[in-house]
Structure 1
Amino acid sequence: MGTNISAARPVSYFPVPPVMIFPEVLGEFSVYLWQGGDFVLYTASGQKFTTRHRQVLHKNGIKEIYIQGAEKPQYEKYIERNLGKILQDENLPIEARTKIFYEAANVVMQNVFDRKLPSALRARHFDRIADVVKNSIKFLAADNSLSSVAPFISHDYKTYTHCMQVFIYSVALFQTYEMNDHEVFEFGLGALLHDVGKAKIPKRILNKRGPLTQAEREIIKEHPVHGVSMCAHLPMTQNTINCILFHHETMDGKGYPSGIKGDNVPMPVRIITLADIYDALTTNRPYAEAMQPYEALSLIRNEMRENVDMKVFKRFVAILSGADMI
């Protein structure tokens, strides 16, 4: 099996950690190994990747497998369908589930840096943000607290990826302020979990294509309180709780659930709120197509300036422009 379909059409491959291919789950993509200077087919599309397949990789010290670039959408759908239930599988050691969660988060993080952020930011931010992701997941793995997140991922994977994207934008912004590493961790964890309460919102509402009724909007507005309740058993600081509870508060006091405004909205919450709005506008949603970054920023500046902290907005624009603010 060579690397080319034809001389005129080279095939691209991307590496995947073996831990991300779940035993006994049918994959709609082929898995390749790099051997002898070439890509060699290991399991074909439609073939189950068995425990035996993984044992052979482990025995031979293989740390990376490869998937064709053309099949990356199928791989991402496979992660979407299976990640939540894998994280809830108590037959798997917590260490294995923690590693799977980190690697899945890394896929989302790679996509954000590749598709939504200027390339200059990768060198400055990627490793630092990856460290915050790793520390957050270690925290959630303590006392088997992944059980708080796994149902959320199973319930609505797109909301989980939205949380990851908001987390990345937020941490990039946190690092332009005078915050120590522990504060960045606390606030970053809040960004990562800000929408976890949507696990309590019916899918028919989350995925509704038309406008919501007033009753449905009131149900949606309950998710920050649900989120705090779902995380009540975690040893979170008030800083983290504030990020989950207040991320829909606005500078003009017209947000929810408390209607606080201005300086009463903590600065890290203002950052997460802006990142939340921007990511929602630039991502395909059931009721609206994604805007281009310039369109989204123009909308925020022209129509939402009373809702968001415009000083934070200016910093965010600088980050998206690739300005070195660290």
Structure 2
Amino acid sequence: MGLNTHAARPVSYFPVSPVMLFPEALGDFSVYLWQGGDFVLYTVSGQKFTVRHRKTLHDNGVREVYVQSSEKPQYELYIERNLGTILLDETLPIEVRSQVFYEASTVVMQDIFDHKLPSAVRARHFSRITEIVKNSIRFLASDKTLSAVAPFISHDYKTYTHCMHVFIYSVAVFQAFDMSEADTYECGLGALLHDIGKARIPRRILNKRGSLTQAERDVIKEHPVHGVSMCAHLPMTQNTINCILFHHEKLDGTGYPAGLRRESIPLPVRIISVSDIYDALTTARPYAEAMPPYEALTLIRHQMRDGVDMDIFKRFVAVLSGADMI
């Protein structure tokens, strides 16, 4: 019997791939099936989703299950707590872990399209950006590459979702500069991996609530070099490596690790830098509340203009506002 038919107001649900319900992991949300024109309870909140549950769904050809929208925060916390462990579990076939990684990443992609980009951008660029994102995720889901990404996700899932956000913002702005498909893919991959080096930064520093000491800031500044090191065995182009290594460089030469200035910083890197700053400001962090978009853009324009390419910033604002810059 569907459980939403007698509710005081309509209950909404969102779809979930069964591979994202991890055996023996406890979730504080209920899972529903769509049967006979109604939502039917399958597992209750606080119940472990077992191998038997998954096999039953597979044997019956179930491709989607559902969670109530009101329980989405609990589902997102469940993913945050368990995804890294699943990806690191070498007892699971690489095909299973790759599919889990792919599904988790596409959920983040869909979320930013739904909630952080204007409808005009979604309508104009969704299919192209989606294909670029999916190709990049397929690359990361390969055997050797997943071994580099999985420890990163396990170490700090929130940093990985930040990278996904920066990736999608950056690719949307790449469209405004009419970058080639090859350059867009290579630099988009760099955006997606720009903070992977933070897997080697202690959590106590990444999640510190107060101000960092100078010594802690120095440790943080090592993450671009760590990132390139972690990806050294992967078949990446110089475009991708530049994006990982130089995303904290500033036009006035005060950035790191190389202190590059102006045109010495590649155009795609300057785009990623703006996207990185904006997403950091508009996302809640241990040491700061999330800023509203307008406030974040105002801060960048007035207080960071010496370090940020203002022409790119204007394009970024135009993309967020839905203007067509091509």
TM above 0.5, yes or no, is yes
8 Å contact 1:4–1:11 — kept in the other structure? yes
| 1:10 Cα deviation from its structure 2 partner | 1.6
Match of 2:298, as an amino acid?
A: S
Match of 2:86, as an amino acid?
A: I
Aligned partner of 1:86 in structure 2 is: 86
Aligned partner of 1:207 in structure 2 is: 207
Match of 1:291, as an amino acid?
A: M
8 Å contact 1:207–1:286 — kept in the other structure? yes
Greater mean alpha carbon deviation, residues 128-137 or residues 257-266: 128-137
Q: Distance in 1 between matches of 2:325 and 2:58?
A: 43
Match of 2:63, as an amino acid?
A: K
Residue 125 of structure 2 aligns to a residue in which SS? helix
Aligned partner of 1:302 in structure 2 is: 302
Q: Distance in 2 between matches of 1:131 and 1:22?
A: 27
Aligned partner of 1:125 in structure 2 is: 125
| 1:272 Cα deviation from its structure 2 partner | 0.4
Match of 2:284, as an amino acid?
A: N
Q: Distance in 2 between matches of 1:151 and 1:215?
A: 24
| 1:324 Cα deviation from its structure 2 partner | 2.3
- Call closer, same or farther: CA 1:143–1:64 in 2, change over 3 Å: closer
Match of 2:12, as an amino acid?
A: S
Match of 2:60, as an amino acid?
A: N
- The 5 Å alignment of 1:226-305 reads 226-305=226-305
8 Å contact 1:3–1:10 — kept in the other structure? no
Q: Distance in 2 between matches of 1:261 and 1:5?
A: 62
Unaligned ranges ≥5, structure 2: none
Match of 1:313, as an amino acid?
A: F
Q: Distance in 1 between matches of 2:311 and 2:281?
A: 20
- The 5 Å alignment of 1:1-326 reads 1-4=1-4, 6-326=6-326
Q: Distance in 1 between matches of 2:144 and 2:88?
A: 10
Greater mean alpha carbon deviation, residues 260-269 or residues 97-106: 97-106
| 1:7 Cα deviation from its structure 2 partner | 4.5
| 1:134 Cα deviation from its structure 2 partner | 1.7
8 Å contact 2:31–2:42 — kept in the other structure? yes
Unaligned ranges ≥5, structure 1: none
- Call closer, same or farther: CA 1:74–1:7 in 2, change over 3 Å: closer
| 1:11 Cα deviation from its structure 2 partner | 1.0
| 1:138 Cα deviation from its structure 2 partner | 1.9
Over 4 Å off, 4+ runs: none
Q: Distance in 2 between matches of 1:6 and 1:317?
A: 45
Residue 66 of structure 1 aligns to a residue in which SS? strand
- Call closer, same or farther: CA 1:3–1:129 in 2, change over 3 Å: farther
Match of 1:78, as an amino acid?
A: Y
| 1:287 Cα deviation from its structure 2 partner | 0.9
Greater mean alpha carbon deviation, residues 35-44 or residues 102-111: 102-111
Match of 2:251, as an amino acid?
A: M
Q: Distance in 2 between matches of 1:7 and 1:178?
A: 50
Match of 2:324, as an amino acid?
A: D
| 1:45 Cα deviation from its structure 2 partner | 1.1
Count how many residue pairs are aligned between Structure 1 and Structure 2.
326
Match of 2:271, as an amino acid?
A: I
- Two-structure CA RMSD over aligned residues (Å): 1.3
8 Å contact 2:2–2:41 — kept in the other structure? no
Residue 142 of structure 2 aligns to a residue in which SS? helix
| 1:136 Cα deviation from its structure 2 partner | 1.3
Residue 141 of structure 2 aligns to a residue in which SS? helix
8 Å contact 1:248–1:257 — kept in the other structure? yes
Q: Distance in 2 between matches of 1:99 and 1:325?
A: 35
8 Å contact 2:102–2:141 — kept in the other structure? no
8 Å contact 1:98–1:137 — kept in the other structure? no
TM-score, normalised with respect to structure 1? 0.97
| 1:27 Cα deviation from its structure 2 partner | 1.5
